[in-house]
Amino acid sequence: MDVQSSSDIMIIGGNSHPELVALIASRLGVKSGGCAVYHKTNRETMVEIGDSVRGKDIYIIQTGTKDVNNNIMELLIMAYACKTSSAKSIVGVIPYLPYSKQCKMRKRGCIVSKLLAKMMCKSGLTHVITMDLHQKEIQGFFDCPVDNLRASPFLLQYIQECIPDYRNAVIVARNPGSAKKATSYAERLRLGIAVIHGEQKEAESDMVDGRYSPPTLSRSRTMDVSVGVPVHPAKEKPPINVVGDVGGRIAIMVDDMVDDVQSFVAAAEVLKERGAYKIYVLATHGLLSSDAPRLIEDSPIDEVVVTNTIPHELQKMQCHKIKTVDISILLSEAIRRIHNKESMSYLFKNVTLED
């Protein structure tokens, strides 16, 4: 998968995922650029680029990990260092975009993913490649082109090749919000779908966002109901329930990320009670925070399958149920096509907006 001209391309990476940087560089047939990223004694981030970047196309590979704020600063400083050194273009390859869950207004907070997008564009990024954004509308926060790649073809291939008797499976949406993604998987695999309703954990859409306080206005003639503005009724979730038949079937839960696994474990316990004899969890980003490996190990979940957008080797040593799917070939093909000025539509072929 060599690029047409390797003399004007440079792959550099921060400290977030050196294994992925090496895999992508190897697949492209180019050597990773000499870039040292380290922290001084006062914890300031220092970037030293050893090779000339003048007039070159720079691809900075940096993902979001648990050390998220350092990852962001490393990316911004690397991009700005390339910009001030007269690089021709600077493409940020960010498999997991940090703060992507903070893309809605909550109470008196802010939309952090928009702030991050502005910072990235201001630092010098001219293009962004990412994977499975939490909400696809985040692309609109950027002032530069964004390619939101999909990991679903790799996860679909894993289901077909590595799950025995997958024809007897049912795709499960962990909550009604992820039913769209589950439906997309089910249609491609020609399988049924089940939805878990009444989840114990509070969903993002149910959080009080501070917009329900009635304004202090005098009573209007057009609404003379003696109570003013009606009070917005509070949501009450029913007891956890499964809509769909999972008895004697393989249950496959799909989502965009696995971070706090408690909700997945609670869903798996309900599916087990309803007769599912095997339970799989498939997701693009495996954050697996805090004691996720221990919870997965002690749960009814048989396998958690994630891609290598985020390093999780330590978690894999703590839990044998965690499996990895390599997506470096997709990122390297995207870099090759952008560098050679080829169409990216092939990478999105047969992928719908619901993915």
Q: Which domains does the chain have, with CATH numbers?
A: 9-149 (3.40.50.2020), 153-200+240-325 (3.40.50.2020)
What pLDDT, on the 0 to 100 scale, is given for residue 353?
40
> Angle of helix 179-189 relative to helix 152-162, nearest 10 degrees?
50
Q: What is the CA radius of gyration of the chain?
A: 23
**Alpha-carbon distance 12 to 22, whole Å?**
10
User: Structure tokens of 179?
Assistant: 């039913």
Q: Give the H/E segment covering residue 114.
A: helix 112-123
What pLDDT, on the 0 to 100 scale, is given for residue 222?
60
What pLDDT, on the 0 to 100 scale, is given for residue 238?
78
**Alpha-carbon distance 249 to 245, whole Å?**
8
Print pLDDT tens along the chain (355 aa).
Answer: 566 556 789 999 999 999 999 999 999 999 888 899 999 999 999 999 989 999 999 999 999 999 999 999 999 999 999 999 999 999 999 999 999 999 999 888 999 999 999 999 999 999 999 999 999 999 999 999 999 999 999 999 999 999 999 999 999 999 888 999 999 999 999 999 999 988 554 555 555 566 655 555 555 556 555 556 777 777 777 788 899 999 999 999 999 999 989 999 999 999 999 999 999 999 999 999 889 999 999 999 999 999 999 999 999 999 999 999 999 999 999 999 999 999 888 777 655 444 4
What pLDDT, on the 0 to 100 scale, is given for residue 241?
86
What pLDDT, on the 0 to 100 scale, is given for residue 177?
86
**Alpha-carbon distance 279 to 139, whole Å?**
33
What pLDDT, on the 0 to 100 scale, is given for residue 279?
97
| Identity of the amino acid at 345 | S
